[in-house]
Amino acid sequence: MRGKRTAVLAAAISLVSGAPTAQAIVGGEPGSVADTPWVVAITTADGQLICGGALVAADKVVTAAHCATAKGAITATQRAPEQLRVVAGRTDLRTKDEGVVAEVAAVWRHPEYREVTGGDDVAVLTLARPLPHRTIAVGEAGDEGVVLGYGRTAENSPPAMTLRKATVPILSDQECLRKEPGYRQGAMLCAGRGGKDACTGDSGGPLVVRGRLAGVVSFGRGCARPAEPGVYTRLAHYRQVLGF
C-alpha cells in the first residue's frame, strides 16, 4: 500500500517536473560514496561511463573482464590502460568537485575470458597511484546482496550517472541453472527475481554480501525482467588467481 502510493506520487511529480522517475540501478534507491567509499566508476578519458568496480587495495580495482575489452573487435582486444580512468569517491559522476580520477597503469584480464556468458568475467586494474579510500575485502555469497552502480535505470534509459543500489536475493545454483543454461556452478552466482537488478553500465560493479565483495556484475537477459536474475562472477572462486 505504502509502496504503491509512493510510486503514484513519484509519477505525479515526474509529470509536473518532466523529470523521469529515477529507479535505478533498476528498482533501486540512491547510494552514497560516504557509505561505500570503495565503489568506483570506470570511465573513458573524456568521462563516459564504461563500468563499475570496487577498490580491493589502495591501487587495485576489481571489475569485469568485459569492461576491459574493446567492443566490436573481432578478437575482443583489451582496452589500453591509458584509455581508462577510475573515478573514486564521487556519488554524482556529472560533478567534478567530489572524489578523484585516477589513471590506470595496467590491466589484467582473466586469461580464460572469452565472452560474458562463458564466465571468467573478471579483471583487475592497477592504478597509477594509490587512493586514500577505504577498500573492500573479497568474500562469500549468502542469501542476499546489495548491488551498486551508476548505470541504466531501465533497459532503454540512459545511465543514472549517480550511484544507486538495490538489495537482491541470491538464488540457489539449481534455480540459476534453470534460468540460465550456461550457468557455471561455483564460478558464477545469480541474484534477483525481477524488479530490482543491475543493468548496462553497472557491469563490473560490486555485489556486496555482509560487507564483503561476493560478486561482479556480469550479464543478464535484459534488466529486472519478471523472474529473471542477473548473473555475476562469483569472486570467491577466483581468490587464488586474484591473490587477495
Residue 149 CB, shortest distance to ligand 4AZ, in Å, is 9
HSE (side-chain half, CA atoms, 13 Å) at 206: 31
Determine which residue in the list 33, 219, 234, 235 makes contact with ligand 4AZ, applying CB under 6 A. Answer: 219
Out of 59, 110, 120, 121, the active site residue is 121
DSSP summary character for residue 210: T
Residue 40 CB, shortest distance to ligand 4AZ, in Å, is 16
Residue 53 contacts ligand 4AZ per CB under 6 A: no
Determine which residue in the list 79, 230, 233, 238 makes contact with ligand 4AZ, applying CB under 6 A. Answer: 230
Determine which residue in the list 198, 213, 216, 235 makes contact with ligand 4AZ, applying CB under 6 A. Answer: 198
Q: Is residue 59 among the annotated active site residues? A: no
The site for ligand 4AZ, by CB under 6 A, has a size of 11
SS3 state of residue 197: strand
Beta bridge partners of 125: 61, 107
R_g (Cα) of the chain, nearest Å: 17
Q: d(Cα 37, Cα 211) in Å, to the nearest integer?
A: 12
Q: Is residue 121 among the annotated active site residues? A: yes
The sheet carrying 212-220 orders its strands as 29-30, 164-169, 144-149, 206-209, 212-220, 230-234, 188-191
Determine which residue in the list 59, 120, 180, 197 makes contact with ligand 4AZ, applying CB under 6 A. Answer: 197
Out of 66, 110, 133, 237, the active site residue is 66
The pair phi, psi for residue 8, each rounded to 5°, is -65, -45
Q: d(Cα 179, Cα 102) in Å, to the nearest integer?
A: 38
Determine which residue in the list 217, 234, 235, 237 makes contact with ligand 4AZ, applying CB under 6 A. Answer: 217
Q: Is residue 35 among the annotated active site residues? A: no
- Which helix (H) or strand (E) segment holds residue 146: the answer is strand 144-149
Residue 223 contacts ligand 4AZ per CB under 6 A: yes
Residue 240 CB, shortest distance to ligand 4AZ, in Å, is 26
* Sign of the alpha-carbon torsion through 82, 117, 165, 213: negative
Q: d(Cα 43, Cα 71) in Å, to the nearest integer?
A: 14
Residue 60 CB, shortest distance to ligand 4AZ, in Å, is 22
Determine which residue in the list 121, 200, 235, 238 makes contact with ligand 4AZ, applying CB under 6 A. Answer: 200
Question: Looking at the annotation, which residues are catalytic?
Answer: 66, 121, 203
Which residue ranges make up the site for ligand 4AZ (CB under 6 A)? 197-200, 202-203, 217, 219-220, 223, 230
